[in-house]
Structure 1
Amino acid sequence: MEGNFGSYTDKTRVLDIKPLRTLRPVFPSGNQAPPFVCAPPFGPFPPGFSPFYPFSSSQHTPDLNQAQNPPQHQPHNSSEPSLVTPLRTFRSPPDTTTSNGDVEPSTVKRKITKKRTPLVCPENFSSGISVADRENGNRKLVTSVIMRFDALRRRFSQLEDAKEAVSGSIKRGDLKAGSTCMSRGVRTNTKKRPGVVPGVEIGDVFFFRFEMCLVGLHSPSMAGIDYLLVKGGGETGEEPIATSIVSSGYYDNDEGNPDVLVYTGQGGGNADKEKQTSDQKLERGNLALEKSLLRNSPVRVIRGLKEASQSAKIYVYDGLYEIKESWVEKGKLGHNTFKYKLVRAPGQPPAFASWIAIQKWKAGLPSREGLILPDLTSGVESIGVSLVNDVDAENGPPYFTYSTTVNYSESFKLSQPSSGCHCSNACKPGNLDCHCIRKNGGDFPYCGNGVLVSRKSMVYECSPSCPCSACKNKVTQMGVKVKLEVFKTVNRGWGLRSWDPIRAGSFICIYAGEAKDKSKVQQTMADDDYTFDTTRVYTPFKWNYELGLADEDASEEMSEEPELPLPLVISAKNAGNVARFMNHSCSPNVFWQPVSYEHNGQLYLQVAFFAMSHIPPMTELTYDYGVTRPSGAQNGNTLYGIRPLSISQIVEDVLSCLSPVGYVM
């Protein structure tokens, strides 16, 4: 053959060959030669063979050439099945046998595209949310949905942190958790509406866009304008109105007034980042804002903020705004952009305005009203704790020595020896060679940003004796990381709150003071109002992620009840830290977690406080004080902590919350 030399083929020649798909096939009719090697699909059949479906429906062999030029109209006989058979029914598996009968592996590799499997709610999982509650929520349900989402997100982040340490890849645990909750019905307020969203309060903070989606505050996970169609003008008899907007801060301004927002429309590129490539159009969200202006329909406004101490953006719900005017102006590159002026509806509690005031307090302009001391710790804490009283003339609480540690007295001795890890530089998530990680059940107890993943009977941290100096498993030993304020309450004495927003699972502080063994100092506790007692009975609650929601084995569920080897009591009467000012609540936003670490071969215990849910700025921090355990209830017990309450104890706890005095330090 020309161009061939042995096994060589000249591939530079271009042959004038038409592809097979352009050729018109011609099929022989049933009466033409040559016949099929085997029986034709529609017969005639050799003796001893009978026709089978789908070829048994016809008594003649059709002319397949007619299929290429079908008649203009052919009546359909519904009584006869179709004679058209898919070509895939004639496909046979490739012959992979050699001449000697051995199976030869195929050398042709076909690229298989992996299909994305949609998330399907497993049959054995129930969200516990009824159809009615899923459409219209309430405060309890909104809080529950956000807490369930964040618990799942923390778990996914924990797993991704372990993978990242090995592969170096980073994935978004919040997106996976949000998709899982959406597909499995862990959401509420799915009925889109303008105005107030049931259960969402002004000032609520969100650390992820998906949280706003799950509670119905703002549906799009990316777009800044949310809208719905209502009856109105237009060709379809419907028109869009805006329900909510997210002000990212990139191309919006408030004209120096926290109650006024000038919002830039969507489309055409990012105007303030000099990436706008075309004029914005009056469509979708822009049209919805324009229609809301004409209808005087209020719009929910979510402010996007970025704190200096936070690597990600924080969102605060600022309430309802009214669109007062709109106009078109030229952007930096000469393209038209839509502008909308929104004014906050009067009579709403402050939200964004409080954030602005806090930033001014931090800068010292102006000074905090009612400020007594800018830092009552006198520099002991790395972040100063202010002392404020804007209620009455009291100048401060009784004197005490500020301390950030737990002092173990002679009456409190732990005989259990302990040893730390031998990791160099830092402990790595997923490293089972680390002794501290093994003590935590094989999981790193904190996410990469220091957020606690799950409540445990005990959290084991690395200690100063461990060589991992830059380790992230020393969260409770690093001191206070948020700006706290001790303030005078109206009827609960002194309290504690934060200038900064606090994410669920974030460490707040430990309970510093003098550690004692309750069995040895029972007589000295009667007149001590600043005592934390681990032997009290605390109302049980669930905070960890749901194993079924995470597709994990339910039999592996861990206990959330604290377990301590001794009845630990910490007194902060003479020496302590800000924890001594936290008040009691039957609906607390803070919980305590026992934490231990090793130092010089000795085991040390401390009580650490973590945020139960997202806490907005200037919200009082409270935890459950628990109730005194009946005498004799500890006999035979070697572990102390949360125990289920009886009905009478629950009633007693509720009544104590309703009493004028209650648990007030």
Structure 2
Amino acid sequence: MLNCSDDYEFMMMERNEVLYPEKRIGSIPGIDVGHRFYSRAEMVAVGFHSHWLNGIDYMGQSYKKGEYEHYIFPLAVAIVLSGMYEDDLDNAEDVVYTGQGGHDLTGNKRQIRDQVLERGNLALKNCVDLGVTVRVVRGHECANSYSGKVYTYDGLYKVVHYWAEKGISGFTVFKYRLRRLEGQPTLTTSQVHFTYGRVPQCPSEIRGLVCEDISGGQEVVPIPATNLVDDPPVAPTGYQYSKSMKFARNIKLPANAAGCDCKGLCWDPKTCACARLNGSDFPYVHRDGGRLIEAKHVVFECGPKCGCDPSCVNRTSQRGLKYRLEVFRTPKKGWAVRSWDFIPAGAPVCEYIGVLTRTEELDNVSENNYIFDIDCLQTMRGLGGRERRQLDASLPMIQNMDKIDEQRSDSVPEFCIDAASIGNVARFINHSCEPNLFIQCVLSAHQDIKLARVMLFAADSIPPLQELTYDYGYALDSVHGPDGKVKKMACYCGAEGCRKRLF
């Protein structure tokens, strides 16, 4: 018996109203990667995905003829990822897709019964056996669409593996691992929104878990690591986690600054000595635990000798992690980081932690991709020559900064942070040409800009489960190998304005 959606599909076929009525494996002529449909009906009308409701479109036994004579049917040709199932996992180019059936149709995405290996589920299983690719479409909420959603074609994926397991709700589900084919147009970050159907509530719900907490209990909030890329899956190794900065033997920090005389909390920027260093204003607002109002050349926070309490808003970056972060494996970029929580614009995410050392000590070290130069001057200029931040020339430490800038424009920063062997979660955050985090130099204990703390703040409001990124700031052709030749590294950030090379 046909349901309403099947009736519509059948009627469109009968009236010859479908552009490509015969289902086909692979791409559809005229539909390129990035093409957007504004409803499921549009996909049906084109013949791109012939179901109004089902996530899996497949060819049945009637296609076992001609060029498909030796194929095994049913055979999947397209799937829609739209957050329908709670067990789905979407890492952009590597997907774990949940089969169809057994879920609650009320819209809460919960499984209420076991799935069966038939129809679309069997069709995807046959794709594994035959090495057949499927078209992947992602659905997103969209206020500008008449249907309330938009569906983006993100290319061809190969179904590389399938298995059955107990899902989050305790019922058997079929899982399919899909990997995007090489050589297709790069996905843009705006095209990928769905990751988990919902945020896991406990470690047992985390798909691909390889480590429950990479910090080993050091952080107040555990940081799990997941890996659905490697076979067998491995956890991050080769480093020691530390939530606090370590110092090389030849490093001596300046004495603690005098600080302010405020009691309890700092309220009056006219009387607070730390606020005066910030241009007679507080850099943070009392919202969401403290949010930076705007990016500054340097942020001066209250420190050890200040009279205010630890809860003072002018200590916002010193409170450690407060968002639930996850380290996850990607197919091309190695490890990456995302948050399970919404992060508002201006909120501090984490500090870049490692071993504080003199840059000259690492001059002969090769293949170390975890060195962060402490260069407030570069931060002030704007990475890559982008718009320079405004400087307040009235600040005593910033006077004659232009002259200092000119003198040091071609020199290497005196100090850096090496997170290769010791570091925190920040060492796993990837580069993007259009990042959602920005670098902010912060001074709290002392006032030496050469030894400023390096903080990562949210540049925009970041929705849950979106990868966290910042601009590494390399200039093209700026990195040389031991032989003096220019080294080049491809960029896989996926941003629409990607520069194609990291350096």
State the TM-score, normalized to the length of structure 2.
0.51
C-alpha contact 1:321 1:345 (8 A) present in aligned 2 = no
| Percentage of pairs with the same residue | 31
1:379 aligned onto 2:224: no
Partner of residue 466, structure 2: 619
Partner of residue 397, structure 1: 236
Mapping for residues 211-250 of structure 1, pairs under 5 Å: none
Give the drift of 1:588: 1.5
Mapping for residues 555-594 of structure 1, pairs under 5 Å: 567-594=414-441
C-alpha contact 1:416 1:603 (8 A) present in aligned 2 = no
SS at match of 2:444: strand
**CA 1:570/1:472 → structure 2, altered by over 3 Å: closer, same or farther?**
same
Give the drift of 1:415: 4.6
Match for 2:277: what amino acid?
K
Give the drift of 1:347: 7.0
Partner of residue 306, structure 2: 466
1:426 aligned onto 2:265: yes
C-alpha distance in structure 1 between counterparts of 2:328 and 2:492, whole Å: 23
C-alpha contact 1:455 1:560 (8 A) present in aligned 2 = no
**CA 1:592/1:584 → structure 2, altered by over 3 Å: closer, same or farther?**
same
SS at match of 2:292: coil
1:359-417 Cα offsets, whole Å, 9 max, x none, are xx0255x6121111221112111111110111222312223221112223233335576
Partner of residue 357, structure 1: 198
Which structure 2 segments of 5+ residues have no match?
Answer: 1-37, 40-103, 111-138, 155-190, 391-398, 479-485
1:538 aligned onto 2:394: no
Give the drift of 1:568: 2.7
C-alpha distance in structure 2 between counterparts of 1:575 and 1:484, whole Å: 19
SS at match of 1:475: helix
Aligned CA-pair RMSD? 4.5
Partner of residue 504, structure 1: 345
Match for 1:532: what amino acid?
F
1:588-622 Cα offsets, whole Å, 9 max, x none, are 22111110112699996210001112222222111
C-alpha distance in structure 2 between counterparts of 1:398 and 1:355, whole Å: 25
SS at match of 1:579: helix
C-alpha contact 2:301 2:443 (8 A) present in aligned 1 = yes
Matching residue within 107, 115, 134 for 1:257: 107
Give the drift of 1:356: 5.3
SS at match of 2:327: strand
Higher relative contact order (CA 8 A, sep 6+): 2
1:524-563 Cα offsets, whole Å, 9 max, x none, are 5434221112357822445989xxxxxxxxxxxx999998
Match for 1:621: what amino acid?
L
Match for 2:302: what amino acid?
C
Select the structure of larger CA radius of gyration.
Answer: 1
C-alpha contact 1:593 1:609 (8 A) present in aligned 2 = yes
1:300-326 Cα offsets, whole Å, 9 max, x none, are x99xxxxxxxxxxxxx7588575xxxx
1:446 aligned onto 2:284: yes
SS at match of 2:384: coil
Larger strand proportion, structure 1 or 2? 2
Where in structure 1 do 4 or more consecutive aligned residues deviate above 4 Å? 316-322, 344-356, 414-417, 540-545, 558-566, 599-604, 628-631, 652-661
Give the drift of 1:460: 0.7
C-alpha contact 1:582 1:621 (8 A) present in aligned 2 = yes
**CA 1:258/1:655 → structure 2, altered by over 3 Å: closer, same or farther?**
closer
Matching residue within 398, 408, 413 for 2:247: 408
Which structure 1 segments of 5+ residues have no match?
Answer: 1-194, 197-253, 261-300, 303-315, 323-341, 546-557, 632-648
Report which stretch shifted further, 505-514 or 402-411.
402-411
Match for 2:326: what amino acid?
E
C-alpha contact 1:485 1:496 (8 A) present in aligned 2 = yes
Partner of residue 475, structure 1: 316
Give the drift of 1:498: 1.1
C-alpha contact 1:408 1:514 (8 A) present in aligned 2 = yes
Match for 1:453: what amino acid?
I
